Chain A
Amino acid sequence: MITAGVDVGAKFVKIVFFDGAKVIGRAKALVGFDVGKSASDLFESALKNAGLTRSDITKVVATGLGRESVHNKPPVNAEVVSEVVADAAGAFYLVPTAKTVIDVGAEEGRGVKVGEGGKVKDFVINERCAAGAGTFVEAMARALEVRVEDMGPLSLKSTQTIPMNAQCCVFAESEVVTLIHSKVSKEDISKAIHDAIASRIGSMVLRVGVEKDVVLIGGVALDQGFLPPLKKELNADIIVPEYPEYVSALGAAIIATKSGA
């Protein structure tokens, strides 16, 4: 049996094909102006690349902000599940000892307490504010005139801690410009940015309580600069699985293997 998980995020669509034992295909694309089309187009090209057709897929489950765009709509014809449930299922599969799952994406940060069998016990969502998620790092990268991918490595080269006062993405952009004019290095500014977002995500996770093992997933998990300050905030080790941005989609694919999803 092959199932598919489609995570229609705020910035990227992620697709995972799962054969019950392992992942047999992955695909990712930017969400364009037409969310449903972006998801379906990627689905079709992912099938082709994996040498599969839609009829080979027993069930598709979608999650993420834009999941309704493929809910019972051809060609994807997915059932839907909330992000929190998908996060827990995916992380639990990869790390059976996972108790606290943190998913930081483009527009949302989530903390999920995982219970028996990968079920959701508690959750907290940091949403609708750009300063609480990946958009913040992206916007600051623009203000610093560096690529998003370089933000993490830059921050790791920092030599001093600078506090950031602004708690809003728009105001932080101005603050970064001021810091640049005050000759603060990009490395130190990048570290301040990572400290700020780690502090926000960390304190939200404290609301569900930190219990090991702590697993970090989502696009922002790819940012190496995010991990050290987050570990410090939570005072715990953090496991980042391979392909962290696909874990929610994997979770959806796993849920698809269970009847009555």
Chain B
Amino acid sequence: MLAHYGYKDGSGDYFIIIDTEKCNGCGKCAEACPYQVLEVIPNDYDIEGDNMASVREEQRKKIKYTCAPCKPVSGERKMPCVLACEPKAITHSW
């Protein structure tokens, strides 16, 4: 299941997309994130599913701002959450 967390507003599209088929619930992304954007929770969309990474509810409406420091205008972009994920389950839409 592809879970899109985030929003589109007048200024653009900002989504963190987690592929729960690929995610193994290891939690490395949550640890790597300097701003506690991510957490590991039970997957209650899928009866067979177990744990999955997710964007914390209180962060979902402001990820453009919270994730801003990890996305400098110039220079190399190294997003800790994406780098930490071995199965490559997490992507950012911006």
Residues in A lying within 8 Å of B, measured CB to CB: 113, 121-124, 126-132, 165-168, 199-200, 203-204, 206-209
Report which of B9, B62, B68 forms a contact with A206, defined as CB distance below 8 A.
Answer: B68
Residues in B lying within 8 Å of A, measured CB to CB: 9-11, 58, 61-62, 65-66, 68-69, 71-74
In whole angstroms, how far apart are the Cα atoms of A127 and B74 in the complex? 19
**Contact (Cβ within 8 A) A203 B72:** no
Using A122-B73, A122-B74 as known contacts, say yes or no to A207 and B11 having CB atoms under 8 A apart: no
**Contact (Cβ within 8 A) B73 A168:** no
Report which of B65, B72, B73 forms a contact with A199, defined as CB distance below 8 A.
Answer: B65
Q: Which residues does chain B contribute within 8 Å of A126, judged by CB atoms?
A: 11
**Contact (Cβ within 8 A) B72 A167:** no
In whole angstroms, how far apart are the Cα atoms of A209 and B73 in the complex? 9
**Contact (Cβ within 8 A) A208 B72:** yes
Q: Is the interface of B mostly helix, strand, loop or mixed?
A: loop
**Contact (Cβ within 8 A) B58 A207:** no
**Contact (Cβ within 8 A) A203 B73:** no
> Which residue of A is nearest B66, CB measured?
A203
Q: Which residues does chain A contribute within 8 Å of B9, judged by CB atoms?
A: 128-129, 131, 168
In whole angstroms, how far apart are the Cα atoms of A127 and B12 in the complex? 9
- Shortest Cβ gap from A82 to chain B (Å): 15
Using A165-B58, A167-B61, A208-B73 as known contacts, say yes or no to A203 and B11 having CB atoms under 8 A apart: no
Chain A CB within 10 Å, residue with most, of B58, B65, B69, B72: B65
Chain B CB within 10 Å, residue with most, of A121, A122, A132, A203: A203
In whole angstroms, how far apart are the Cα atoms of A209 and B74 in the complex? 9
In whole angstroms, how far apart are the Cα atoms of A127 and B6 in the complex? 18
Report which of A121, A122, A129, A206 forms a contact with B11, defined as CB distance below 8 A.
Answer: A129
**Contact (Cβ within 8 A) B11 A209:** no
**Contact (Cβ within 8 A) A128 B65:** no
Using A127-B11, A128-B10, A129-B11 as known contacts, say yes or no to A204 and B68 having CB atoms under 8 A apart: yes
Using A126-B11, A128-B10, A129-B11 as known contacts, say yes or no to A203 and B69 having CB atoms under 8 A apart: yes
Q: Which residues does chain A contribute within 8 Å of B69, judged by CB atoms?
A: 203, 206-207
